[in-house]
Structure 1
């Protein structure tokens, strides 16, 4: 939200109070509180009729400083609130003998908030002897507007500083110059709206900022004041956290420690998912024809997804299979399991009026109501839809019980669609503020379903395919990009959304291969297939047309087979990237700036990504021409997708242009990489360490690292890899069965614990 008309003037009807003086500074139990009048105080009379800004600093964790800006403190706070995991470390508070006799400071780890107590308002956030960002004289504001009261903060931007994050946003990857409202909307991927709004951003200056408000947070990123990032919230209080890095990866580690890390997902979820699509006609015979068609063409399939019309029309969501098309759901699910498949079904949090659950939910008080006690309803999607009130624990348990029936039938996971169009003219069971519940609902909804899956299937076996999210929802993976068009342009905007989400704390991300709206031409489908199968999770899904590859052409079948089988062989590597997501908050798909923060060109690249830490993937957004940026070093092409006629290695620190057929694309291995490659290409859930091959790629002299290969369905194994005088030495004390090492075109095989050299 903008409060000014240019730099000097305020918008008509807007008044802003700002801290202008420091009356006193108080040190508490690991806190620092500053009392700042809104005008200079030169005599006692100046304190009359004078508002006071109270700013409190604390440290919930090392290298994190919380800032709370308050006007009136007596306002009722019904919640909800984002959970903040507090693990305080060493906190140091320093206060001057009196205001004006030096700064007041609160230090957490390597980060210090330094408050000037003399002259104009100024707070410097300092790390490593450098000022990361500053709240200066015109930064803090208590604004009275025709729309209500707001509190804003503005943190300074340095020359060349780039801002990232704020959720899954499909516009420009770098957020400088943008106005962003953190407010969940069902707006597709082609607008400024977003399904997953997260009030967190990070910069390549060494810090991130989490605005801990689930209601609408308005960001002006170098837009209202081009030298600052402004964020504002309605009301009398603003709470935010400054998180020191110094690198983007360290910022994400600390942010996800604060708000929640993604859960470990099951190995089978990394495989190819195939959907019925949305409004297509389908029955068990259609489903089985798709499953059999994939098997006949040697395309490994891991999950089959039933979209909305597995239920009867006008009955969503009653969780009852349409008897006209699925007369024997238990038998069908058993037949799909016999083919080695997991099953996913579409759900949402709405209950249509025609559903028998509507009456049951209304009678029990489980549906959201209006102020006069009526059940809130609308006619979007299905007639008379009501909304489940997940703030009521009994309603959440009731909803889980309905899903538990599906799990007992044989369903393995759920696509938790919707959750964005949450009304604000309603009353919640626990008294929550409707404005705050609009975004927060996504977390309650997905947590309810994810908790059920963990309870019924066990930790590590729960997985969703979720669309809506906000801060903290990363704990309930996986999330997909929503409704995109079937074009190269939309393919690129989907990637930008995923990269933006990955810098917002989300570890896993997927998208509709081929696009959702419309039918892709064969070129779009084949290019999107390669991109989709080199993403953390991969799903073929559309709206009104099927996404089986033979619906396009024979080459589409070959491309789907090739990249599906490649992904299966990469599972030891991808499993390690997933472990980094769950253990450290690092996304599987990483923007270039995350891995190369010192590379000024990498800072703005948004048409490629790192898959894990070692594979650069550059999707091709056209018939044949690929353009990508390669950071410094001598990179090696991944042999399985290398195009004929191109050199095996490519020198970096430059842009590269190449021609690629539909079965190839630029995938390059970072120099100094030991890439674990699996022994199987027919499924993702196998014993990843058994038969693993360690590909050593341009290891530097003196290289000495431990490579952990996750277990998958078997035992993990650790390999110590050293490179000395042109020889690779590999030792393992726990290798299960056979394993191999490749280096410089040579291969040596071993069995069980031991050492090899080549």
Structure 2
């Protein structure tokens, strides 16, 4: 939200107060309270009729400073609130009388917050002696209008060549500089400023991140109101934000996900190919089985089959009852699908249509969201007479989970948790939550309820969703997909930017509808999107009104699907290890280039390619003619598909057929692959193949491949000395290594040894 009219003036009807004169500072146990008058105080009389700004600093986690700015403190916080982890932090506070200098300080780990106690308002954040960002004379503002509305804003400076990323899933230009972003979940597709997944957190490549601890609407002006600052504002009298230290973007994400939650492990089978019935297509068991048979006949390994909305009767969504006219024997059908080694996903949402038998049940039990007069909130968007489950009511959560458990007992393995964005604000919640704050937070409660059920019923590491909406902390309930995009190359690029923005916001896994959702893609779009989709963390064939089996497009689409599905399954040891990294550190599987190469200015703002893990660079081709430009950072990069080597840093212009794309291996990589390419759900320690790429003399690294139980991973230490490479393994079974095809390997005791090619 913009408050100014240019640099000097306020917008009509607004007034603003800024902290101008610090009148007192107080130290607590690891806390600092600053009291600032909104005008200079030269004598006692100046304290009369004078508003005061209170700024409280504390440290919930090492390397994190929380700043709370308040005007009137007598308000009622009705919630909801983000659940943030805290630690006992040895935060050191120094006052001016201790330092002999005109400032007060709070130190937490490497991060220092310094407040000037004389002169204009100034709050600086330093990391190892370097100023990351600061709040200056007109940065903090208490804004009011003539109708009695109020806001609090903060502005943190932007440096020269500093770029801002994140703020959830956003589809515009990847670096957010120059953009206005409102954190407000909406069902708006992928082609506008609206987003399904809004996260009030941004990541700066200057070595820090900022999380605004407000679950309702937060307005960001990223160099779009004051060009040299990022402004964020919330309605009301209080603003709390957390400044999170780096120094690298990965360090920021580690700290941020330690605060808001890290992604759990997902089951190995979820990395395989998902096939959907699509949305409005006509289907029954015979149709489903024809798709599955067709995939098997064409050697297209399939892991999950998904039933979209019309597995239930029209106008009954959601009653969680299989349409008896279409699926007369759902339990038997699920058994037959499991006999094909397939997992089953079904579509759900949190809305209860009036015709559903659950509507009357939920109404009578008080489990549906109500209006102020006690009536059930309803409208006809999406489903006729639709109500909304009140997940702030623990009994309603248990009721909803009970309906889903019936499906799990029938044989369903996971759920696509669709919707959760169009949440009304003219309602009363069971727990008394503020409706404005609940709008974004509702999706968290919805996905949490479903994920917790799956975890309880299927076990730790076996729970997985296919979720569309989210806010901060939603990374704890994976996987999320990009939502409803068009079937075009432009939409393909929008989707990628959305996924990279979400990865910059702490989300470990991400997927999208291969070929796009709306309409039917032409074969060129579909085939190009296949390679992109099968080199994403999770891969799904899904659409709106057309089937997405590859042979519906052309035979070449079948070949492309086969090539990249087999490739992804061969990469499972590497992908599973990368997923384990997401779980333990918060670093996502799909990574923006700046995240992996923060010191390379050539990666700034690049939103057309990504790193899949730390070692594979993927540049989706977004043109029918196959032309693509790829940025390669420093070093000798090797095409995983052809073996061709290219030296960076530089942009490379290439032309690829439909069965290819720029897929480069980072220099110095030990890439764990597997001999099998038929299923992701296997013991990845069996048949390991390590491929070594441009290892420098003196290289030492450890390759870790998870095991199915998560307790006994294969660990392989790789060491190169001159022309000799030694590899020592623990818990690996039937493993081998190669620099290139045909490289001789010999056993020497408990080592595998190979000779590095001469001249390399």
TM range (shorter): over 0.9
Using the alignment, how far apart are the partners of 1:387 and 1:729 within structure 2? 61
Q: Distance in 2 between matches of 1:434 and 1:508?
A: 29
8 Å contact from structure 1 (residues 677, 695) kept in 2: yes
CA distance in 2 between partners of 1:698 and 1:713 (Å)? 33
Instruction: Give 1:626 deviation, angstroms.
Output: 1.7
Q: Is the 8 A contact 1:530 1:559 kept in 2?
A: yes
1:739 Cα offset (Å): 0.5
CA drift at 1:46 = 0.6
Q: Shift of the alpha carbon at 1:743?
A: 1.6
**Residues 649/712 of structure 1: CA separation in 2 closer, same or farther (3 Å cut):** farther
What is the Cα deviation at residue 128 of structure 1? 1.4
Alignment deviations for residues 4-56 of structure 1 (CA, whole Å, 9 cap, x no partner): 10110001110001101011000001100000011111111111111100000
Deviations 1:221-256, CA, capped at 9 Å, x for gaps: 001100000000000000000000011111000000
**Contact 1:333 / 1:410 at 8 angstroms: preserved in 2?**
yes
Q: How does 1:209-608 map to 2 (within 5 A)?
A: 209-608=210-609
Indicate how the Cα distance of structure 1 residues 251 and 179 shifts in structure 2: closer, same or farther if over 3 A, else same.
Answer: same
SS of alignment partner, residue 301 of structure 2? coil
- Contact conserved, 2:353 with 2:387, CA < 8 A, in 1? yes
Give deviations 1:581-616, integer Å, cap 9, x for gaps. Answer: 110000100000000001111011110000000000
CA contact under 8 A between 1:308 and 1:346: conserved in structure 2? yes
Counterpart residue number, 2:757: none
Q: Deviations over 1:185-243 (max 9, x none)?
A: 00000011000000000111000000010010000000110000000000000000000
Please say if 1:679 is aligned against 2:675.
Answer: yes
Cross-structure match for 1:629: 631
Matched, 1:82 2:82: yes
2:510–2:537 contact (8 Å) kept in structure 1: yes
1:88 shift after superposition? 3.2
What whole-Å deviation, never above 9, does each CA across 1:58-117 have from its counterpart, x for those lacking one?
A: 001111000000011110110000011001332110001299952100000000000001
- Offset at residue 734 of structure 1 (A): 2.6
Alpha-carbon distance in structure 1 between the residues aligned to 2:340 and 2:496: 32
> Are 1:100 and 1:118, in contact at CA under 8 Å, matched by a contact in 2?
no
2:508 partner SS: coil
CA distance in structure 1 between the aligned counterparts of 2:622 and 2:507, rounded to whole angstroms: 25
Match of 1:667 among 656, 663, 666: 663
Aligned to 1:124: 124
Contact in 1 for aligned 2:528/2:658 (Cα 8 Å): yes
Please tell me whether the aligned partners of residues 637 and 667 of structure 1 are also in contact (alpha carbons under 8 angstroms).
yes
Q: Match for residue 91 of structure 1?
A: 91
Per the TM alignment, residue 709 of structure 1 is displaced from its structure 2 partner at its CA by 1.1
> Secondary structure of 1:126's partner?
strand
Secondary structure at the counterpart of residue 290 of structure 2: helix
What TM-score do you get using the length of structure 1 for normalisation?
0.98
8 Å CA contact 2:166, 2:501 repeated in 1: yes
Matched, 1:704 2:700: yes
Q: Distance in 2 between matches of 1:752 and 1:200?
A: 52
Q: Separation in 1 of the partners of 2:365 and 2:689?
A: 58
What's 1:57 paired with?
A: 57
3-state SS of paired residue (2:21)? coil
CA offsets, 1:701-739, max 9 Å, x none? 11111111111479521011000012111012332x211
Partner of 2:45: 45
Instruction: Choose from 710, 728, 732 the match for 1:731.
Output: 728
Is the contact between residue 96 and residue 104 of structure 1 (CA under 8 Å) also seen in structure 2? yes
Instruction: Give the alignment of 1:8-157 within 5 angstroms.
Output: 8-97=8-97, 101-146=101-146, 148-157=149-158
Q: Which moved more, 1:93-102 or 1:150-159?
A: 93-102
Task: Select between 96-105 and 331-340 the one with higher mean Cα deviation.
Answer: 96-105
Contact between 1:141 and 1:151, CA under 8 Å: does it hold in 2?
A: yes
> Is the 8 Å Cα contact of residues 24 and 99 (structure 1) preserved in structure 2?
no
Q: 1:747 to 1:585 in 2, by over 3 A?
A: same
8 Å Cα contact 1:731-1:753 kept in structure 2? no
* Alignment partners' CA distance in 2, 1:262 and 1:483: 24
TM-score (norm 2): 0.98
Specify the SS of the correspondent of 1:634: strand
Residue 693 of structure 1 aligns with which residue? 689
Assess, with a 3 A threshold, how the Cα gap between structure 1 residues 704 and 118 changes in structure 2: closer, same or farther. Answer: same
Q: Are the equivalent residues in 2 in contact too, given 1:262–1:582 (CA < 8 A)?
A: yes
1:616 corresponds to: 617
Distance 2:34 2:709 in 1: 55
* Inter-partner Cα distance in structure 2 for 1:629 and 1:550: 33
Distance 1:594 1:172, change over 3 A: same
Taking a change above 3 Å as real, the CA distance of residues 61 and 720 of structure 1, as seen in their structure-2 partners, is: same
2:739 maps to: 743
SS in 1 for 2:491: helix
Aligned pair in 2 of structure 1 residues 146, 348: CA closer, same or farther (>3 Å)?
farther
Secondary structure in structure 2 of the residue aligned to 1:106:
strand
Find the aligned partners of 1:250 and 1:339 in 2 and give their Cα distance: 43
Alpha-carbon offset, residue 756 of structure 1: 1.3
Q: Cα distance, 1:744 vs. partner?
A: 4.5
**After superposition, what is the alpha-carbon deviation per residue over 1:645-692, rounded to whole angstroms, capped at 9, x for unaligned?**
xx7101111110111110011100000000000121000011111110
Any residues of structure 2 matched to 1:634-673 within 5 Å, and which? 634-638=636-640, 641-642=641-642, 648-673=644-669
CA contact (8 A) 2:511 2:536 kept: yes
User: Are the counterparts in 1 of residues 532 and 620 from structure 2 also a CA contact under 8 Å?
Assistant: yes
Cα 1:124–1:741 change in 2 (3 A) is same
Aligned length: 751
**Are the equivalent residues in 1 in contact too, given 2:746–2:753 (CA < 8 A)?**
no
2:337 match: secondary structure: helix
SS at match of 1:631: strand
Work out the CA distance in 1 between the residues paired with 2:563 and 2:74.
Answer: 63
- Give the match's secondary structure for 1:460: coil
Q: Find the aligned partners of 2:365 and 2:535 in 1 and give their Cα distance.
A: 46
SS at match of 1:196: coil
In the alignment, the residues of structure 1 paired with residue 749 and residue 520 of structure 2 have an alpha-carbon distance, to the nearest angstrom, of 52
Q: Deviation at 1:754?
A: 2.1
* Counterparts of 2:76 and 2:567, CA distance in 1: 56
